[in-house]
Amino acid sequence: MVKKGVIILLVLTLIIPVFFVSSGFTKDKVQVRFWKFTDTFADATIEKYIKLWNQSHPDIEVIFETFPWGDYTGTKLSSAFATGQGPDVFFISPGDLLRYVNAGLAQPLEKYLSTEEIKDFLPATIQSVKVSGHIFAIPLEMEPVAIFYNKKIFKDLGLQEPKIWSELLDTAHKLRKGEKYGIIVDVAPGYYQNFTWYPFIWSAGGDVISKDWKRALMTSQAGVSALKLWGDFIKEDVAPKTLPGSGPDITMLGNGIADMMVCGFWGVKQLQADFPKYDFGVFPIPPIDNKHKSISVYGGWRLMVNAKSKNVEEAVKFAKWMGVDQIDFPLEWCTVANSKFSPRKSVLKAGEKYYSTPPNDIFSKVLQTARSEPAFPPEIVKAVSDAIQGVMFGGLDAKVAAKQAETSITDFLKNYKGGIPGM
């Protein structure tokens, strides 16, 4: 008898969930699904503005759903779009832009933007979302990369901010004491390690590929030197070979694992919030020598509209409202919820005070010569990553690693038929 009871209970428990459909479908409202990776602190700001939108637009309901950052682009977005379940508006990284454009999933936006609205954006940011003359995303933020350091230790040891690479390496050696390392650079293979490495090849006067995407340039003097520098950080034991946290986590600097760290603008807010007593400074990534200029990189997510969405017009309306029409959200997003730069001149002006307060002013300066994170397809990312990993951990000579990368990239570029960003 007990068994019968168990069976009935079982059947019931299996049937009931079938009727559990989440968020009921109301036919009179248009629903716009807005996806992003989770950021528990900053998301509150987004939710606030979505609430404002939903109140003022009763006919268009925006539903905000977030997913763990590490799996957002690779697993979640891919699986959703693969089965036609993609969202209507979503955050997209520079690295993924081209892929979505080439797949026909990016809605062209230029016809929705007036000339003044486009002019309000810094030209480089519009270039970075333009392919074949179409604007495929709305830039939202810019986070340049520089080097954070422990001001107190520098003072105690009588150290100056390094101005060229040889000084950087030298300073790192001087800082290397006991359990403390000289500098932290990311060690895990991936887009972030590449991202923080690009400034080095650029500040040596070179680049990964030519602007027209026709030639690979890794074996140039700049490429080899940049690889060699990172290899030296590891070989000369001034940078840790393994990290307890992820690459962009400034907590590692705050905890004293090293006294210098390559990190981005986001680190400022984090240090100020979690390590109020830590006296930190920032200096731009040094160029290779006095004949070259410091060129940093900036990343930053964009808003993209799903071209295959059933509600493209409404989705564009919402995306435009968030990123283009107003100053309030971008300003709050960049200066209150996070520490980021806005790609819009009007927002930068409104946040003038914030951006000129030290140490933000250093980043403002860095931003002036910084380049957008390249929209490289995964094959090029892998080639560069293999080179960096090879020099740091594979015992490869910088020239050999650069050659391997250049060969892969050349092979790839030969067969590449997709769009070229910035063109």
Partner 1 sequence: MKKNIQELFFGYLFLIPDLIGLIIFWVVPSIIAFIVSLYNWDAIGQPIFSSFSNYRNLWSDPYWIKSLLNTVKYSLIFVPLNFIISLSLALLVKEDVRGIGIYKAIFFASTAMSSVAISFIWKYMFQPYGFVNYIISFFGISQQPLLGSTQQALFCILLVHLYMSVGYYMVIFLAGLNDIPLEYYEASKMDGANTIQRFWFITFPLLKPTSTFVLIMTFLQGFQIFDYIYILTGGGPYYSTSTSVYYMYYTAFQMYHFGYGSSQAFLLFLILVTLSFFMLKVLRSGKVAM
Partner 2 sequence: MKRRPIFIFKYFILTLLAIVFIFPQYWMFVSSIKSPREIFKFPPVLFPKEPVLENYLKVFQQVPFLRYMLNSFYVSAVVTIAALFLHSMAAYSLARLKYPGREFLFFLVISTLMIPSSAILIPLFFVVKFFGWINTYSGLIIPAIPHAFGIFLLRQFYLNFPRELEEAATLDGCSIPNIFFRIIIPISRPILSALAVFFFLANWNSFMWPLVVINSPSMRTVQLGIAQYGGEFNNPWAIQLAACTVAIIPSVIIFVILQKQLMQSITITGMKF
How many angstroms separate the Cα of 49 from the Cα of each of 118, 318, 351? 22, 11, 19
Query: Does residue number 393 form part of the binding site for partner 2 (CB under 8 A)?
Result: no
Q: How far is the CB of 178 from partner 1 (least distance, A)?
A: 9
SS3 for 149-170, per residue? EEHHHHHHHCCCCCCCHHHHHH
- SS3 state of residue 237: coil
Question: CA-to-CA distance for 313 and 298, rounded, in angstroms?
Answer: 30
Torsion of CA 270, 284, 231, 409, to 10 degrees: 100
Q: How far is the CB of 71 from partner 1 (least distance, A)?
A: 8
- SS3 state of residue 366: helix
Question: CA-to-CA distance for 419 and 154, rounded, in angstroms?
Answer: 47
Please report where in the chains the tokens 């954006």 appear, as a residue.
Answer: 121
Per-residue string for binding with partner 2, 78-117, x by CB under 8 A?
Answer: xxx-xxxx--------------------------------
- Give residues 172-191 in contact with partner 2 (rule: CB under 8 A): 179
Please report where in the chains the tokens 């004293």 appear, as a residue.
Answer: 256
Q: How far is the CB of 303 from partner 2 (least distance, A)?
A: 15
- What are the two backbone dihedrals, phi and then psi, of residue 216, each rounded to the nearest 5 degrees? -90, 140
Interface ranges with partner 1 (CB under 8 A): 74-75, 77-79, 81-82, 86, 99-100, 102-105, 179, 187-190, 240-245, 378-379, 382, 386, 389-390, 392-395
Question: CA-to-CA distance for 55 and 58, rounded, in angstroms?
Answer: 6
| Binds partner 2 (CB under 8 A): choice among 45, 61, 67, 102 | 67
Instruction: At 358, list the tokens.
Output: 């030290």
Q: Half-sphere exposure of 379 toward its Cβ, with a 13 Å CA cutoff? A: 15
Query: Does residue number 37 form part of the binding site for partner 2 (CB under 8 A)?
Result: yes
Beta strands in 97-234 (DSSP E): 130-131, 134-135, 138-139, 143-150
Query: Does residue number 62 form part of the binding site for partner 2 (CB under 8 A)?
Result: no
Query: Does residue number 23 form part of the binding site for partner 2 (CB under 8 A)?
Result: yes
Closest CA to 125 of 112, 143, 103, 101: 143
What does 274 bind: partner 2, partner 1, none (CB cut-off 5 to 8 Å by kind)?
Answer: partner 2
Q: How far is the CB of 378 from partner 1 (least distance, A)?
A: 4
Pairing of strands 60-67, 30-37: parallel
Question: CA-to-CA distance for 399 and 223, rounded, in angstroms?
Answer: 9
What does 85 bind: partner 1, partner 2, none (CB cut-off 5 to 8 Å by kind)?
Answer: partner 2
Query: Does residue number 246 form part of the binding site for partner 2 (CB under 8 A)?
Result: yes
Instruction: At 305, list the tokens.
Output: 């509209």
What does 392 bind: partner 1, partner 2, none (CB cut-off 5 to 8 Å by kind)?
Answer: partner 1
Burial classification of residue 54, based on how many CB atoms lie within 10 Å of its CB (0-12 exposed, 13-18 middle, 19 or more buried): middle
Q: How far is the CB of 82 from partner 1 (least distance, A)?
A: 4
What does 394 bind: partner 2, partner 1, none (CB cut-off 5 to 8 Å by kind)?
Answer: partner 1
- Cβ distance to partner 1 smaller for residue 105 or 216: 105
Closest CA to 232 of 179, 185, 282: 185
Contacts from 52-60 at CB under 8 Å and sequence distance 24+? 53/318, 53/321, 53/322, 58/29, 59/28, 59/29, 59/30, 60/29, 60/30, 60/31, 60/32, 60/311, 60/314, 60/317, 60/318
Query: Does residue number 40 form part of the binding site for partner 2 (CB under 8 A)?
Result: yes
Q: Which stretch binds partner 2 (CB under 8 A): 60-68, 351-359, 382-390, 394-402?
A: 60-68
What does 389 bind: partner 1, partner 2, none (CB cut-off 5 to 8 Å by kind)?
Answer: partner 1
Q: How far is the CB of 3 from partner 2 (least distance, A)?
A: 6
What does 54 bind: partner 2, partner 1, none (CB cut-off 5 to 8 Å by kind)?
Answer: none
Q: How far is the CB of 326 from partner 2 (least distance, A)?
A: 23
| Binds partner 2 (CB under 8 A): choice among 1, 5, 18, 26 | 18
Q: How far is the CB of 222 from partner 2 (least distance, A)?
A: 28
Query: Does residue number 45 form part of the binding site for partner 2 (CB under 8 A)?
Result: no
Q: How far is the CB of 395 from partner 1 (least distance, A)?
A: 8
- Give residues 269-298 in contact with partner 2 (rule: CB under 8 A): 270, 274-275
Query: Does residue number 242 form part of the binding site for partner 2 (CB under 8 A)?
Result: no
Q: How far is the CB of 289 from partner 1 (least distance, A)?
A: 29
Q: Half-sphere exposure of 174 toward its Cβ, with a 13 Å CA cutoff? A: 16
Interface with partner 2 by CB under 8 A: which residues? 3, 6, 10, 13-14, 17-18, 20-23, 33, 37-42, 65-71, 75-76, 78-80, 82-85, 179, 244-246, 248-252, 254-257, 264, 266-267, 270, 274-275
